[in-house]
Amino acid sequence: MRISNTIPSIISSAARATGCSLGLACLALFSVGAQASNQNYQWSAKLMSFDEASSTAVVQAPIESYVTIKGIDDYSDGDRLILTWTGINWAAGVRGLAADPELTPTTLSLPVEFVSTELDGRYLNFRISVPSDAVSAIAAMEAGTHVTGTSPKMATDWSASISSLRHYNDVN
């Protein structure tokens, strides 16, 4: 007997055992939940500083070793740009930085303000908008603490670019 551990096959088995309509309802709920969860992604960065008055933080993330970001030396502190990450549902590193990048439905993008680069351009420091429900937690963190953010894919709106921000080790 073959045992499958996938949720759709479990729901299918439940449909056969309990009646088709219940199983189909469960499958529909699963599909909606899976689709909603695929609209967001998570990313991590090191907290460099936090400005409580403006609810912004400067964070640092590595630029992927195989990436060369064209024009990065032309950006100035405060330039609003769209950062793009490598990865599918979890951002692995910075892939690009541009004022108007071409985005696809799977693009892990994040509106940021450029701050600087460090270590021969291998790390990017950028400013983000901190969600209001995360301000007190971020304010209590020391510089150098790693944080995890949740953002919508294809984000382009600065004010709605981060739905949650927490200490790296906190589990939602």
Query: CA 77 to CA 24: how far, in whole Å?
Result: 53
Dihedrals phi, psi of 156, to nearest 5 degrees: -135, -10
Residue 39 has pLDDT above 60, yes or no: yes
pLDDT at 149: 95
CA distances for 95 relative to 36, 91, 109, 122, angstroms = 24, 10, 10, 11
Residue 24 has pLDDT above 60, yes or no: no
For the chain, what percent of residues have pLDDT higher than 90? Answer: 59
pLDDT at 171: 67
Largest distance between two CA atoms of the chain: 63
Query: CA 115 to CA 124: how far, in whole Å?
Result: 8
Q: Which strand ranges, in their side-by-side order, compose the sheet holding 164-167?
A: 93-98, 80-86, 109-118, 123-129, 56-62, 40-51, 146-152, 164-167
At residue 49, what is the residue type? S
- Residue 146: name the closest of 40, 42, 48, 41 by CA: 48
Residue 29 has pLDDT above 80, yes or no: no
Average pLDDT of span 147-169: 91
Average pLDDT of span 77-102: 93
